[in-house]
Amino acid sequence: MTPHLIVPFGSADWAAVAPPTVVGVAALVVILADLMLPRRARRISAIAIGIVGLIVAGIIALQGWHHPYVAFGGAFIEGGFAIVFEGIVIVAAIFSLCMSYGFARDDQIGGAIALMLWSATGAMLMAGAASLMMIFLGLELLSLALYCLCGLAARASAREAALKYLILSSTASGFLLYGMALLFGATGSVALAALANPPISAALFDIGCGMFLVGLCFKLSLAPFHVWTPDVFEGAPLPVTAFMSVVTKAGALAAVARFAYAALPQRDHAAILIPLWIVAAISMIVGNVGALAQTDIKRLLAYSGIAQLGYIVAAMAGTSALGLRYAIFYLGAYMFMNLGAFAVVTLLSRENDEGSRLASFAGLGYRQPVLAGLMTFFLLALAGLPPTAGFIGKILILATDVNTGYAWLAVLLIVGTAISVYAYFKIVRAMYARTIGTPVLPRFVPASALPWVGVALCAIATLGLGLYPFAPSDILPLVR
């Protein structure tokens, strides 16, 4: 009675998962190259291979833009929606690699770059995941690599960050899995598409959705599930923090968006998602108020990220088509301004000092006027002032919130923005204020020129998106 085993998938299925596969394989090549190349060439070769792999993956992904395909029996959907998020992950990973030149010891750099690429692979899998199982597996791949990356720096705070991240994130994964189990129990399938069927028990379904969203909110670091973020961001090595601040969010956001837009049955759509909007509202306030008290720029950007994610999720309130478009636009804008700020910090960092303390910025406006100017620009963008992408993004979110009847979110967004301006200007003031007594600061010698490229590109993109807001319009039908 041996069954005739036919694998029901063809080359089109494998082609659909080609972009994450290419990134994953590139990481293996990085490790192999690390074994063979001389010690001096390791850093640059690892980063170069990683960037080439990511670019190739991006090109392959773009090929599928007009050819959406449901691969592996509905486990993975390649198409506009997935490609946009894959693109964001790829760009963020490239910028993070640019900042990674001085990262980790010589014998660890290959593995560190590989882990970063694998983490990106996980996020890309999440971008296309269309079954609960794939969402979970993508998330685990993403997080597992990040736990290791957090613990790489040889200092106590990094280990603390890794441990905190591991334990709290596992708890969140537990919530996520429990929610998925309940959803499976309520609908009898792990496919997101099956969630639209009438469930056995509506209450089970609701609780499942709730726990599922709690798990994802943790990964999105939305308040009140945000408590881990500042500590982990502060402890993790700088390139990892930069990477984490965008890629985790992009992956989890793709899952939330697919869940909210495509999976939920229309009848009890609003009721299930209301807590999500409330969480977004709390995040906007908590993130910005929390940012006020910070003296470490990594912590400040962590709180800023909490607030920005609040804005992005708020854009999806009412699950309108435009809302998703604007959320993606703002995610892209957030990526550029956030990574730009991180790249500036990278340029300031040197051995034993990551340059993230507020003191490192004292008088920067006189020592490094260009760098200080760019930093000011990124902070303005994060605060949402014109002429930047952050400004346009917020205007668009305000418009869509008012249109879909979530005016209270719009009001909170404005309040949050007002608070945030003060927080960001603390750094600007430190850079330009004439301090009494010159602080003893090391000479400005960046470890490599690569972050300069990152800073420049981020600045151009932030300005460009501010002047010409662009977001792909035809992705909503592809969410499924």
Partner 1 sequence: MSLFYLLAVILIASAIFTITQKSPVYSVVGLLVNFLALAALYFTLNAEFLGVIQIVIYSGAILMLFVFVIALLSSGVGPFRAGPNRLPRIAAPALLTTLVAFGFLIFGIAQRPFGPLPPHRPTSFLGNVGDPNVFGSVGDFGVALFTVQLLPFEVTAFILMVAVIGVVLIAGDAVPQPTLGRHRPQKRAAEREPILKAPAP
Contacting partner 1 within 296-355 (CB under 8 A): none
Count Cβ atoms below 10 Å from residue 248 Cβ, excluding itself: 25
Give min distance, CB of 150 to partner 1, in A.
10
Q: Which is nearer to partner 1, 20 or 365 (CB)?
A: 20
- Minimal distance in Å, beta carbon 445 to partner 1? 28
Q: Give the count of residues interacting with partner 1 (CB under 8 A).
A: 54
By CB under 8 A, residue 188 contacts partner 1 = yes
Q: What CA–CA distance (Å, rounded) separates 335 from 83?
A: 16
| Closest distance to partner 1 from the beta carbon of 159 (Å) | 9
Q: Is 111 in the site for partner 1 (CB under 8 A)?
A: yes
Contact 151, 229 (CB under 8 A): no
- The only residue of 189, 403, 404, 448 in contact with partner 1, by rule CB under 8 A: 189
Q: How far is the CB of 220 from partner 1 (least distance, A)?
A: 20
- Which residue's CB is nearer to partner 1, number 104 or number 461? 104
Pick from 12, 62, 133, 402 the residue near partner 1 by CB under 8 A. Answer: 133
Q: Name the nearest CA neighbour of 81 among 209, 250, 218.
A: 250
Strand partners, 450: none
Minimum separation from the CB atom of position 83 to partner 1 (A):
18
Torsion of CA 443, 445, 447, 450, to 10 degrees: 140
Give the per-residue SS3 of 164-215: HHHHHHHHHHHHHHHHHHHHHHHHCCCEHHHHHCCCCCHHHHHHHHHHHHHH
* Residue 187 binds partner 1, judged by CB under 8 A: yes
Structure tokens of 431?
A: 């850079």
Q: Which sign, positive or negative, has the C-alpha torsion 308, 246, 62, 476?
A: negative
Does residue 114 belong to the site contacting partner 1 (CB under 8 A)? yes
CB of 141 to partner 1, least distance (A): 5
Structure tokens at 256: 């939330």
Query: Which C-beta is closer to partner 1: that of 2 or that of 266?
Result: 2
Produce one character per residue of 284-323: b if its CB has 16 or more CB atoms within 10 Å, e if not: bbbbbbbbeebebbbbbbbbbbbbbbbbbbbbbbbbbebb
Tokens of 62: 């773009």
Asked whether position 206 contacts partner 1 by CB under 8 A, the answer is: yes
Q: Is 259 a residue that touches partner 1 (CB under 8 A)?
A: no
Nearer to partner 1, 6 or 436 (CB): 6
Q: What is the token pair recorded at 388?
A: 């930047």
The SS3 assignment for 61 reads helix
Q: Binder to partner 1 among 32, 200, 402, 418 (CB under 8 A)? A: 200
Local structure of 129: helix, strand or coil: strand
Residues 153-172 vs partner 1: string with x where CB under 8 A? Answer: ---------x----------
C-beta closer to partner 1: residue 33 or 371: 33
**360, containing H or E segment:** none
Locate tokens 């750099």: which residue?
A: 109
Give me the least distance between CB of 158 and partner 1, in Å please: 10
CA triple 230-233-235, angle to 5 deg: 105
Minimal distance in Å, beta carbon 399 to partner 1? 36
Its sign, for the CA torsion 40, 43, 46, 49, is negative
CB-CB contact of 258 with 479 (8 Å): yes
**Interface positions, 15-34, toward partner 1 (CB under 8 A):** 17, 24, 31
Task: Choose between 185 and 469: whose C-beta lies nearer to partner 1.
Answer: 185
Q: Which stretch binds partner 1 (CB under 8 A): 78-86, 92-100, 195-203, 459-467?
A: 195-203
Question: Which of 194, 252, 280, 315: binder of partner 1 (CB under 8 A)?
Answer: 194
56, 65, 69, 108: which one contacts partner 1 (CB under 8 A)?
108
**Maximum Cα–Cα distance across the chain:** 86
- For residue 69, the SS3 value is strand
6 binds partner 1 (CB under 8 A): yes
Choosing from 202, 418, 456, 460, the residue that interacts with partner 1 (CB under 8 A) is 202
Q: Binding to partner 1 by residue 138, rule CB under 8 A?
A: yes
Residues 40-99 that bind partner 1 (CB under 8 A): 71-73, 75-76
Report the residue from 48, 55, 137, 399 that binds partner 1 according to the rule CB under 8 A.
Answer: 137
List C-alpha distances in Å: 110 to 44, 105, 153, 225, 300: 10, 9, 14, 33, 30
| By the rule CB under 8 A, 464 interacts with partner 1 | no
- Interface with partner 1 includes 1 (CB under 8 A)? yes
Residues that bind partner 1 (CB under 8 A): 1-3, 5-9, 13, 17, 24, 31, 71-73, 75-76, 108, 111-112, 114-115, 118, 121, 125, 131, 133-134, 137-138, 140-141, 144-145, 147-149, 151-152, 162, 182, 187-189, 194, 197, 200-207
